[in-house]
Amino acid sequence: MNTITIALLSLVLLAAILSFYKRKILGSSVLKFFSFFLLFQFLYQLAAALYSFVFTQHEPNYFIFNLTMPVNIAYFSALFYDIVKHPAKRKFIVSTTVINLLFYVINLAFIQGFFALMTYSRTALAVSLVIYSLLYFHEMLTSSAAENEVNPTRSATFWIVTAIFFFYLCSTLTIIIWDYLVASNPIIGPLMTRIFGFLLYAMYVVGMMLHKAEHKEPTA
Amino acid sequence: MDASSNEIIIAFLFGSLMLALIGVFMFMMVIFYQKRKIRSIEERQRLIAQYEQAALKAKVEIREETLKYVGQELHDNVGQLLSLIKLYLTHPETQQKTAVTQLIDQAITDIRVLSHDLNINRVEQYSLGDFIEQELNKVHKAGTMQTSFESEGICELPSIQNRVMISRIFQECINNILKHAEAKHIFVKLVAEKGSCVLSIIDDGVGFETSTVRNGTGFINIYDRLKLIGGDIRINSAPGNGTNITLRIPQG
């Protein structure tokens, strides 16, 4: 296991610990569940690293990522369903989630299979998440209930969505131009994906650290 | 330069670029968000000012209406009684003492009722149902129309300003009936249902073409006031068929 992998795993663990620490003020139950989701991410990434670097001699660990993909699809969809309030946008999130899950099953059974990295399903998930993030940003800038909201930089949701948006947008673009990147410089592709990963979890950490509880309107 | 240092330089440059991009994005989002928040606060303040102004105007109008009514009553009723008493006292031989005493008693009762009506803060002191009943009593007393009032459930409006505005709207509707409807009966019903108060004002008058009066000042005032308190209005009328006005006012 190299240093970069250990550093990345440490960052995921730190984000999980911080989210557990801030769990009480995270607001909705879906956001509170984010702590468990991060812990789950840490565990499966640790398992993947151990499988490739400790238990085998660099054997591909794609099946672990494939196995956990439905959980990622379901949780991210639930998260966006929770934070996006517009009914039409919510319907869109539900329908694309169902399509993504169906496509995952079809891809698993008939196209890429369990032991190859399921890039098609991952790309479909990434595109969906980028669109969901844009829906969230749109709602954030146009919603009428702004006065009681905290500054977005003090909201973990904003940091999480921004992190997801950049991570999935950039990593998907990288995957699309992967062949070109590897041909021009073999180290740049893997390096970029690691930088995206670092930024994703670093933003989770910052979001958790800066998070402040929302004001509640006094009830009569 | 070896491959490892190359890797570090690329990582550093790429990481910095990404961080800068994210930083700019977040900065822009926060700027837009703050602008929208300021706009939203300004809009809310404007609405509050408009609401307070409308409530104050309604209160002033109710006072004017009350004073006008009391003035009319003093002139038409108490004034007449006192003139009659004066006439009797000038010619004491024509009438018995008991008749004069009865007239004085009547005048005292009328003045007592008027002093009660003159209480210009009655909207704030009484419930909406009581206010409606008092207004209908005035109409009934004039003797030109029959009135009936029915109330179901408890209609408690959230603020005094809302009560003032809806009371003024009710007065405006009754005034319209008195001035234009040529009605014989006015039926009023106040019902509490599903977090709202539903006030129906029905008359059997000449009715009107609803499209022609919607732009009148009276109706515009009613619409504006209802909009400010989050209510709505439905008007059903046709020439010769009377008028049915239904107001729905939120209670919460």
B5-33 per-position pLDDT tens digit = 776 777 778 778 888 888 899 889 889 88
**CA of B10: which chain A residue's CA is closest?**
A188
The answer to whether the CB atoms of B22 and A199 lie below 8 A apart is: yes
State the smallest CA–CA distance between residue B26 and chain A in angstroms.
Answer: 8
Q: Give me the interface pTM, i.e. the ipTM.
A: 0.72
Give CA–CA dist A167/B28, Å, rounded.
Answer: 18
Q: How many CA atoms lie within 13 A of A162 on its CB side?
A: 28
Among B15-19, B33-37, B42-46, which stretch is predicted with the lowest mean pLDDT?
A: B15-19
The answer to whether the CB atoms of A170 and B18 lie below 8 A apart is: yes
pLDDT at residue B78, as a whole number: 86
Q: How buried is residue B211: exposed, middle or buried, by Cβ count under 10 Å (0-12/13-18/19+)?
A: exposed
Q: Decide if A80 is inside a domain.
A: yes
pLDDT at residue A78, as a whole number: 96
pLDDT at residue B120, as a whole number: 62
> What are A97-130's pLDDT values in tens digits?
999 999 999 999 999 888 888 889 999 999 999 9
State the smallest CA–CA distance between residue A63 and chain B in angstroms.
Answer: 28
Interacting residues of B209 by C-beta distance below 8 A, sequence separation 6+: B237, B238, B239
Give CA–CA dist A97/B55, Å, rounded.
Answer: 50
Give CA–CA dist B3/A9, Å, rounded.
Answer: 25
Q: Decide if A43 is inside a domain.
A: yes
Q: What are the residues of chain B with a beta carbon less than 8 Å away from any beta carbon of chain A? A: 3, 6-7, 10-11, 14-15, 18-19, 21-22, 25-26, 29-30, 32-34, 36-37, 40-41, 44
Q: Decide if B78 is inside a domain.
A: no
Per-residue pLDDT of chain A (220 residues; tens, 9 = 90+): 678 889 999 999 999 999 999 988 888 889 999 999 999 999 999 999 999 888 888 888 899 999 999 999 999 999 999 999 999 999 999 999 999 999 999 999 999 888 888 889 999 999 999 999 999 999 988 876 655 577 888 899 999 999 999 999 988 888 888 777 777 777 777 778 888 899 999 999 999 999 988 765 444 3
pLDDT band at B2 (very low <50, low <70, confident <90, very high): low
Neighbours of A155 (CB within 10 A): 22
Q: Decide if A52 is inside a domain.
A: yes
Q: Decide if B91 is inside a domain.
A: no
> What are B71-86's pLDDT values in tens digits?
888 888 888 888 888 8
The answer to whether the CB atoms of B10 and A191 lie below 8 A apart is: yes
Task: Compare B68 and B190 and report the one with higher pLDDT.
Answer: B190
Q: What is the dihedral of CA A52, A53, A56, A59, to 10 degrees?
A: 30
- Residues, chain A: 220
CATH of the domain at B141: 3.30.565.10
A199 touches chain B (CB under 8 A): yes
State the smallest CA–CA distance between residue B62 and chain A in angstroms.
Answer: 29
Closest CA to A75 of A83, A86, A64: A83
Going by the DSSP 8-state scheme, the letter that residue A117 receives in this structure is: -
SS3 B69: helix
Neighbours of B72 (CB within 10 A): 12
CB-defined contacts A:B, below 8 A: 60
State the smallest CA–CA distance between residue A42 and chain B in angstroms.
Answer: 22
Average pLDDT of every residue of chain B: 84
Neighbours of A48 (CB within 10 A): 20
State the smallest CA–CA distance between residue A192 and chain B in angstroms.
Answer: 7
Reply yes or no on whether the pLDDT at B1 is more than 60.
no
- Residues, chain B: 252
Q: What six digits make up the tokens of B22?
A: 């994210």
A185 touches chain B (CB under 8 A): yes
Q: What six digits make up the tokens of B4?
A: 């490892």
Interacting residues of A46 by C-beta distance below 8 A, sequence separation 6+: A9
Q: Decide if B216 is inside a domain.
A: yes
Q: Decide if A24 is inside a domain.
A: yes
Q: What six digits make up the tokens of B3?
A: 């491959």
pLDDT at residue A207, as a whole number: 93
pLDDT at residue A145, as a whole number: 64
**CA of A191: which chain B residue's CA is closest?**
B11
Averaged over B156-179, what is the pLDDT?
86
The answer to whether the CB atoms of A141 and B14 lie below 8 A apart is: no
Going by the DSSP 8-state scheme, the letter that residue B115 receives in this structure is: H
Exposure letters B106-125 (e unless 16+ CB within 10 A, then b): ebeebbebbeebbebebbee
Q: Return residues 43-82 of A near B (CB < 8 Å).
A: none
Q: Decide if B60 is inside a domain.
A: no
The answer to whether the CB atoms of B26 and A185 lie below 8 A apart is: no
Q: Give the closest of B11, B21, B36 to A146, CB-based.
A: B36
Indicate the number of domains in chain B: 1
- CB of A133 closer than 8 Å to CB of A177: no
State the smallest CA–CA distance between residue B37 and chain A in angstroms.
Answer: 6
Exposure letters B133-143 (e unless 16+ CB within 10 A, then b): bebbebbeeee
pLDDT at residue B128, as a whole number: 86
Q: Decide if B200 is inside a domain.
A: yes
pLDDT at residue B156, as a whole number: 79
Q: Give the closest of B14, B18, B25 to A162, CB-based.
A: B25
Q: Decide if B203 is inside a domain.
A: yes
Averaged over B155-161, what is the pLDDT?
80
SS3 B236: strand
Domain enclosing residue A197, as ranges: 3-143+150-210
> What are B209-250's pLDDT values in tens digits?
887 776 777 788 888 888 888 888 999 998 888 999 999 988
> Amino acid identity, residue B177?
I
Q: Decide if A95 is inside a domain.
A: yes
Q: Decide if B1 is inside a domain.
A: no
pLDDT at residue B211, as a whole number: 78
Indicate the number of domains in chain A: 1
Domain enclosing residue B195, as ranges: 122-252
Which of the residues B6, B33, B42 would you substitute to probe the A interface, choosing the one with the greatest number of A C-beta atoms within 10 Å? B33
